[in-house]
Chain A
């Protein structure tokens, strides 16, 4: 048992220790300073030339967003076409079929949004072609888009007074060539060495010990898993994600996969400190996020390692913890840590079934996604936190007798309007979605029955399953509570829309706030200025996030996870 906890501690320590130098590197990459990856310059030059991009063009925030949206629209169409025609495309040795339009809509929405909610199983729902050119491509591209958005915001924050926030393409290309690509290559190599499949051949056909013929799915797993973990993507090669022995063969690969979840999200916060030359500010932000991560991990580890009291009451030994839905080779503690890591970020990969988590751990994973600002998705995690900073700055600025300002820029009505809308959107998407599905479940049983009945579990847990689906979609997390029959038109369309809204509106809003603030006159700080790099302000931000983001879900939790927990 202690070894399990030690393993967890080691993972967390390694995350922090490795992310710090990476953050320094990321800051250099976006600032265009000399860095380790400068040898990629010719490749980048070639990309710019091939696509006719001028990487030195300075974009205003509106142009920046226009480019970002146009690119995503193009990707959406392209990915959709691939998915509904994959049967006839090359690299389909197992002869998998085309995706239905509603499934393809959900899948492509989910992948361009860095969400990776999967209403299909990769073994049968995709071909090797779509695994590589849709899944893997977007796992790089959507991660890079989020990072590019944050780079633009960083540039906006850093500038004293500027109409431009940098070049979207420049950030996008560099995110791939200098951050994501080298890291994934290293991690993939490690996975291959650990025995993860890396092949374009069809299913393996083996004879099992019992003498039965078995066909085992395989494919280019190692390369996809590395970027899946590093880019807060989470879309597994196999349906059961990293619980699958070929996607996560042993404790060592689990350790590396687990670290990879938080590596870049943590590094992005340190990068902010290096980029803005405000190391203390980044430590405070990191501190708040890390605190939340540790608390949520502790709850989950405690809950999962102690096992289910109902099962204990039946006289069944549970010294290994609550093992339902968990892998014996990984253990309860490692799964608990992963469940926390994958939800504080918007990763969404799993190494155990969240549907089987203890109610309180389930509540924690939900809450992490509902807050969606602890580390979060690569790049966009900080952007969500940034919207809360704006609100916290606004209230605390007044509390010290000044009209509010953040890093030398006055926060006024326009920015407040956007920040409020961004913060408002998240509960709207989640609660409205859950309300509609609950309403239909009760009042339109015929429709639900036609869709296959939806819920595997009745009662509070069933509500948690629907609640989780919309939460995971809005937060662009992509993990599933499972137990929900979600490959139906209702779930594919509703979740797909929630994913798109949950991805694009916040980014538009956050970049707009940063752009608007960048245009304003810089106000030098004085003794009366609110310092945002203090523990006090960190506490303030935490309180704002907790009261506004977390507590607005409290009544819904009372009816689902808390009711389940208290009824145990």
Chain B
């Protein structure tokens, strides 16, 4: 089952729910978290009393005018609340659909060696349950016994089953996935209601949402702007008084609300929630909003070679017989050497042999005794019934074997080895009865398109570092072909940690992905640590994100999501502030035109009348919020065109656009509003 990833921004039921939330969010105790909108609430309240006052008095303008201003301000508040509510609703819907996959299922709880059937919701941390083929796994946990193939498509959308087994790094199972074969015993690792998904839902709903550092700094700036305009508008009253101009409370409040950054103020929290939501849509559970933000700042990505840069495992790509060995004969020896080898490399050799059509048909295969790979011999193979020993192994080990038997090691094979190694391949030498017969070339298959992705990252200013167990020569070759900036060869688990610390000392921010328990310290140390959902509980606890798809290239997407989040915030701030230029020109002449007729020359938009000008500005100010909700939710598109070009582009669109748009918008609204005057 693939979750609904529909791009419709406003599904009906979410809108309905958000509308009622918009009213509930008017509670001043909630509004105060957002200083900009809180001041709007205060002046809206004041406008309400001014409206009532104007029923009985005439010096504050007509009741109709005052009440209209009040209603528009009230709607402005609702729009801002709606933006936040709809972002929450979307995030929650996304999380809920994930949660649905793990609704009530029966669990086979093991109590004193016996199985007891209970509901999944009754499972507690530390309980052990059993799952057999066909069962849905009732809760997240870690396999303590057994091995099973599991269908995780409900979570990842990937149809190929995966193997999970106790011990090691593939021991985690996720609630809602299905066991296809075999049977496992699983220990529950989280208390009900405390899974990562539950935590994320709480984060999105606002219960445990904390402002990120960048959000705090921006809120300070916006609060500062708001204060400036408090000063500007309050002092305007005595100044106008001096010139003999009477300005109404409604006009001062309108000027104030238009000048303070309500656009970004109203959309700020929606942008943050939408960022987490976008991560969730990419199947990444984030443990905090801060992690998403940090992702946009990442300088260096640590990527495991296998699975990220190359497809799974190495594959055999070429078979080179030694001089004097019949090529077909050699192919058959290759086949024999790998008969008992069920590693992915071994299987790929068999596949290559079959492609060459010189293989021994399965019905003709001789009986063999398999010789397993040992650390001592560093080779494996088979012994045939006639005593023929077929071996394949690393160059050193086979050379030792051959030379010990008095056979020379062919020169041309050594040359081959050199060429293969420097091309990033791994040579495997095949011997028959301790005589070298040829060589198999294993190659890493670099994922298509990965080079372009790294290029894109480089343009974003992100360095990529490949981590691999390969020898430096092979690592260097692959690094070159894939286009990564640096590599760690012959990597041990602690090398990642050292590298991260070293880079962090230089002031860089590092992201990495990992799944094993031995990755946990590095995941914790990294600025953004993404644990694979299939990884161990320790790894998931250590990281600050969990990737449900177990897709190592996800890091790249996460960086973009982080950048998008910040960009949306920045561009809307610029837009909001740039709007002020036009608003000054709409309202300031309107304030004074009556008593200082000369100032009519400043009415460059030729707005109909002072009242219509003020109303148009306030209406524009209100409408721009819902108009920008889609942008806030979807995020501003990131383009890796270099920092300066990007700034130029966004400054042009959102800064310059922010200056122009309200001139047009206010004029249009005024044309409409003037119909009523």
Residues on A lying within 8 angstroms of B by beta carbon are: 391, 394-404, 408, 411-413, 415-417, 420-421, 423-424, 427-428, 431-432, 434-436, 438-439, 441-442, 459-460, 462-463, 521-524, 526-531, 534, 536-537, 539-540, 543-544, 547-548, 551-552, 554-556, 558-560, 562-563, 566-567
A403 contact set on B, CB distance < 8 A: 213-214, 293-294, 296-297, 566
Q: Which of B436-466 contact A (CB under 8 A)?
A: 458-463
A420 contact set on B, CB distance < 8 A: 220-221, 223-225
**Structural contact, A395 and B508, CB atoms closer than 8 A:** no
B75 interface residue per 8 A CB criterion:
no
**Structural contact, A416 and B217, CB atoms closer than 8 A:** yes
B221 contact set on A, CB distance < 8 A: 391, 394-395, 416, 420
A555 contact set on B, CB distance < 8 A: 232, 236, 239, 255, 584, 588, 591
A524 and B242 contact, Cβ closer than 8 Å, known pairs A401-B563, A427-B228, A556-B236:
no
B157 contact set on A, CB distance < 8 A: none
> Chain B interface mostly helix, strand, loop or mixed?
helix
**Structural contact, B217 and A558, CB atoms closer than 8 A:** no
**Structural contact, B299 and A558, CB atoms closer than 8 A:** no
**Structural contact, B238 and A435, CB atoms closer than 8 A:** yes
A428 and B461 contact, Cβ closer than 8 Å, known pairs A395-B574, A421-B224:
no
Who on chain A is nearest to B648 by CB? Answer: A536
Report the separation of the CA atoms of residues A412 and B648 in the bound assembly, to the nearest whole angstrom: 23
Most buried by B among A412, A442, A559: A559
A537 and B461 contact, Cβ closer than 8 Å, known pairs A432-B231, A558-B599, A563-B592:
no
B578 contact set on A, CB distance < 8 A: 543, 547
Most buried by A among B229, B240, B589: B240
B580 interface residue per 8 A CB criterion:
yes
**Structural contact, B644 and A536, CB atoms closer than 8 A:** yes
**Structural contact, A396 and B647, CB atoms closer than 8 A:** yes
Report the separation of the CA atoms of residues A404 and B217 in the bound assembly, to the nearest whole angstrom: 10
Which of A395, A400, A439, A523 is the one whose CB lies under 8 Å from B573?
Answer: A395
Provide the B586-599 mask, 1 if CB < 8 A to any CB of A, else 0.
00110110001011
Report the separation of the CA atoms of residues A400 and B322 in the bound assembly, to the nearest whole angstrom: 58
A530 and B507 contact, Cβ closer than 8 Å, known pairs A420-B220, A555-B588:
no
A463 and B243 contact, Cβ closer than 8 Å, known pairs A398-B566, A401-B562, A552-B232:
yes
**Structural contact, B214 and A438, CB atoms closer than 8 A:** no
A534 contact set on B, CB distance < 8 A: 644, 647
Report the separation of the CA atoms of residues A539 and B648 in the bound assembly, to the nearest whole angstrom: 10
Report the separation of the CA atoms of residues A399 and B237 in the bound assembly, to the nearest whole angstrom: 36
A526 and B242 contact, Cβ closer than 8 Å, known pairs A400-B567, A554-B584, A566-B598:
no
B288 contact set on A, CB distance < 8 A: none
Report the separation of the CA atoms of residues A21 and B27 in the bound assembly, to the nearest whole angstrom: 62
Who on chain A is nearest to B461 by CB? Answer: A528
Who on chain B is nearest to A161 by CB? Answer: B507
Q: For residue A546, give the distance in angstroms from its CB to the closest CB of chain B.
A: 9
A556 contact set on B, CB distance < 8 A: 232, 235-236, 239
Q: For residue B253, give the distance in angstroms from its CB to the closest CB of chain A.
A: 14
**Structural contact, A554 and B642, CB atoms closer than 8 A:** no
B655 interface residue per 8 A CB criterion:
yes
Which of B217, B225, B299, B654 is the one whose CB lies under 8 Å from A412?
Answer: B217
**Structural contact, B507 and A566, CB atoms closer than 8 A:** no
**Structural contact, A548 and B225, CB atoms closer than 8 A:** yes
A547 and B651 contact, Cβ closer than 8 Å, known pairs A394-B221, A398-B567:
no
B562 contact set on A, CB distance < 8 A: 401
Who on chain B is nearest to A557 by CB? Answer: B588
**Structural contact, B651 and A536, CB atoms closer than 8 A:** yes
Which of A394, A528, A559 is the one whose CB lies under 8 Å from B239?
Answer: A559
23 pairs across A/B with beta carbons < 8 Å? Answer: A395-B573, A399-B574, A399-B646, A403-B566, A408-B507, A412-B214, A413-B216, A431-B231, A432-B235, A435-B234, A442-B238, A460-B243, A463-B242, A523-B508, A526-B299, A528-B643, A531-B643, A536-B647, A543-B578, A555-B255, A556-B239, A559-B596, A566-B601
B283 interface residue per 8 A CB criterion:
no
**Structural contact, B243 and A552, CB atoms closer than 8 A:** no
Provide the B282-307 mask, 1 if CB < 8 A to any CB of A, else 0.
00000000000110110100000000
**Structural contact, A398 and B214, CB atoms closer than 8 A:** yes
Which of A417, A531, A551, A560 is the one whose CB lies under 8 Å from B220?
Answer: A417
**Structural contact, A531 and B242, CB atoms closer than 8 A:** no
Who on chain A is nearest to B592 by CB? Answer: A558
A394 and B238 contact, Cβ closer than 8 Å, known pairs A548-B225, A558-B592:
no
Report the separation of the CA atoms of residues A428 and B245 in the bound assembly, to the nearest whole angstrom: 22
Q: Which 3 A-B pairs have the closest CB atoms?
A: A528-B461, A398-B570, A401-B563
Report the separation of the CA atoms of residues A540 and B242 in the bound assembly, to the nearest whole angstrom: 36
Most buried by B among A394, A415, A555: A555
Q: For residue B567, give the distance in angstroms from its CB to the closest CB of chain A.
A: 4
**Structural contact, B220 and A558, CB atoms closer than 8 A:** no
Most buried by B among A403, A438, A460: A403
Which of B213, B239, B647 is the one whose CB lies under 8 Å from A463?
Answer: B239
**Structural contact, A537 and B647, CB atoms closer than 8 A:** yes
**Structural contact, B563 and A559, CB atoms closer than 8 A:** no
B460 contact set on A, CB distance < 8 A: 401, 527-528
Q: Which of B13-62 contact A (CB under 8 A)?
A: none
A398 and B243 contact, Cβ closer than 8 Å, known pairs A416-B217, A555-B236:
no
Report the separation of the CA atoms of residues A526 and B574 in the bound assembly, to the nearest whole angstrom: 24
B602 contact set on A, CB distance < 8 A: 558, 562, 566
Most buried by A among B214, B245, B589: B214
Who on chain B is nearest to A558 by CB? Answer: B588
Report the separation of the CA atoms of residues A442 and B237 in the bound assembly, to the nearest whole angstrom: 12
Which of A404, A416, A441, A547 is the one whose CB lies under 8 Å from B577?
Answer: A547
Who on chain B is nearest to A525 by CB? Answer: B461
Report the separation of the CA atoms of residues A325 and B31 in the bound assembly, to the nearest whole angstrom: 55
Q: For residue B263, give the distance in angstroms from its CB to the closest CB of chain A.
A: 14
Provide the B243-257 mask, 1 if CB < 8 A to any CB of A, else 0.
101000000000100
Most buried by A among B232, B459, B563, B650: B232
A524 contact set on B, CB distance < 8 A: 506-508
Q: Which of B183-226 contact A (CB under 8 A)?
A: 213-214, 216-218, 220-221, 223-225
B536 interface residue per 8 A CB criterion:
no
B571 interface residue per 8 A CB criterion:
yes
B239 contact set on A, CB distance < 8 A: 434-435, 438, 463, 555-556, 559-560
B240 contact set on A, CB distance < 8 A: 559
B359 contact set on A, CB distance < 8 A: none
Which of A424, A528, A559 is the one whose CB lies under 8 Å from B228?
Answer: A424
A435 contact set on B, CB distance < 8 A: 234-235, 237-239
Most buried by B among A400, A404, A411: A400
Which of B231, B242, B570, B573 is the one whose CB lies under 8 Å from A428?
Answer: B231
**Structural contact, B232 and A562, CB atoms closer than 8 A:** no
A552 contact set on B, CB distance < 8 A: 228-229, 231-232
**Structural contact, B228 and A411, CB atoms closer than 8 A:** no
A560 contact set on B, CB distance < 8 A: 239
B93 contact set on A, CB distance < 8 A: none
Which of B228, B245, B566 is the one whose CB lies under 8 Å from A401?
Answer: B566
Q: For residue A474, give the distance in angstroms from its CB to the closest CB of chain B.
A: 13
**Structural contact, A402 and B297, CB atoms closer than 8 A:** yes
Which of B508, B567, B592 is the one whose CB lies under 8 Å from A559?
Answer: B592
B581 interface residue per 8 A CB criterion:
yes
**Structural contact, B462 and A528, CB atoms closer than 8 A:** yes
Report the separation of the CA atoms of residues A551 and B582 in the bound assembly, to the nearest whole angstrom: 11
Who on chain B is nearest to A537 by CB? Answer: B647
Known: A416-B217, A558-B599. 17 other contacts (CB 8 A): A394-B221, A397-B566, A398-B570, A398-B573, A399-B646, A404-B214, A415-B217, A416-B218, A423-B228, A427-B228, A435-B234, A435-B239, A442-B242, A523-B299, A526-B299, A552-B228, A552-B229
A442 contact set on B, CB distance < 8 A: 238, 241-242
B638 contact set on A, CB distance < 8 A: 401
Q: For residue B532, give the distance in angstroms from its CB to the closest CB of chain A.
A: 26
